[in-house]
Amino acid sequence: MSEHRGLDLVALRKFLSESDVPLDGELRADLISGGKSNLTYAIFDDSSRWVLRRPPTAGLTPSAHDVAREFRITSALQGTDVPVAATVALCEDDSVMGAPFTVVEHVTGQVIRTKSDLEALSGDDIDACTGELVRVLGALHNVDYDAVGLGALGRPDGYVARQVTLWASQWGRVKTTDSADVDRLHAALVESIPQQSESSIVHGDYRIDNTILAAGDVSTVAAVVDWELSTLGDPLTDVALMCVYRHPALDLVLGEPAAWTSPRLPSADDLAQRYTVASGRELVHWNFYLALANFKLAVIAEGINHRYRVGATVGEGFDKAGDAVPEFIAAGLRALKGQTV
């Protein structure tokens, strides 16, 4: 079917059949998402429904869009307390469809992406939903990554220091103007890096819209999705980013009124407290982690601003991303005030 870019249903059917996946009737497909992100298709026959992901058909960079990595992570998490889609098949042979691709079972549910998606939910619904989101994040961080076969996923030692260096380097690449406050926050972060930290699987981008909630029951997470940034690192970086995502300036970064910034949700402090209760993990050096998360989001916002200015963004709503940069930098500097290391 030529209308499906990067998808050959004849080749896919042959591959699935040879992988002992039961098939019933003709394969059909609908594009779920495309563009510069991974191409995601709903695949279905007369009895079953799956989701196929593959890299975009152009503009590939080494290690980008690593669908095989995502597949291995979610495969390892099967049977843990972390809900993920059931994995079906991984193809790393480019000759089949021109690039690696993965197939997982379709998860029936709902995605809460914007503030309007929250309108039908009661206050009790939202409270139960956020409580479950925090519980699932704690469950992820408590997975024994060696026991599930993910000990080689990343290098947890020195992870936080590398994050500070990485985001400072990224700022140097994308900045559209110099900023004394950015330099000040970076220097303060370097001075405040904790000497010791825990290690766990980290998701890297955890908030409500990177989960599928159960259909008709927002108090249950049916699956955590978007594992492209997952690695082994410090669990508190995940928690802090989840909390900092509650900043209203995230709307400017995403280019839409995000559900996660809604005032109807618990505050960042409340989320942090819920995480401590759910995971049994204390938030040691918490101000540092909040400052680092704000620094990261400021750099991401500036990257979007840079691409917008050179005409490289796709879609609308990104013209205000640069306005978020001073908001996150100021929040990061405030977080570090009075920190003891």
**Residue range 285-333, pLDDT digits in tens:** 999 999 999 999 999 999 999 988 888 766 677 889 999 999 999 999 9
**Residue range 179-218, pLDDT digits in tens:** 999 999 999 999 999 988 899 999 999 999 999 999 999 9
Residue 311 corresponds to which tokens in the numbers above? Answer: 């005409």
CB atoms within 10 A of CB 65: 21
Residue 66 corresponds to which tokens in the numbers above? Answer: 């690593």
**Residue range 68-104, pLDDT digits in tens:** 999 999 999 999 999 999 999 999 999 999 999 999 9
* Superfamily of domain 110-337, CATH level 4: Aminoglycoside phosphotransferase (APH), C-terminal lobe (3.90.1200.10)
**Residue range 106-148, pLDDT digits in tens:** 999 999 999 999 999 999 999 999 999 999 999 999 999 999 9
Predicted TM-score (pTM) of this structure: 0.91
* Superfamily of domain 9-106, CATH level 4: Phosphorylase Kinase; domain 1 (3.30.200.20)
User: CA 12 to CA 128: how far, in whole Å?
Assistant: 40
pLDDT of residue 34: 61
Asked whether the CA dihedral 306, 307, 308, 311 is positive or negative, the reply is positive
Q: Where in the chain is the domain with CATH 3.30.200.20?
A: 9-106
| Average pLDDT, integer, range 33-38 | 65
Residue 111: which region, alpha, beta or left (left: phi > 0; alpha: psi -120 to 50)? beta
Q: Are 236 and 198 in contact (CB under 8 A)?
A: yes
pLDDT confidence band for 64 (50 / 70 / 90): very low
Q: Where in the chain is the domain with CATH 3.90.1200.10?
A: 110-337
Mean of the per-residue pLDDT values for the chain? 92
pLDDT of residue 3: 57
Q: Are 40 and 52 in contact (CB under 8 A)?
A: yes
Side chain identity, residue 236? L
* Angle at CA of residue 55, ends 51 and 60, nearest 5°: 175
Residue 141: which region, alpha, beta or left (left: phi > 0; alpha: psi -120 to 50)? alpha
Long-range CB contacts (< 8 A, 24+ apart) of 168-177?
170/299, 170/303, 171/298, 171/299, 171/302, 174/299, 174/302, 174/303, 174/305, 174/306, 175/302, 175/306, 176/302, 176/305, 176/306, 176/309, 176/322
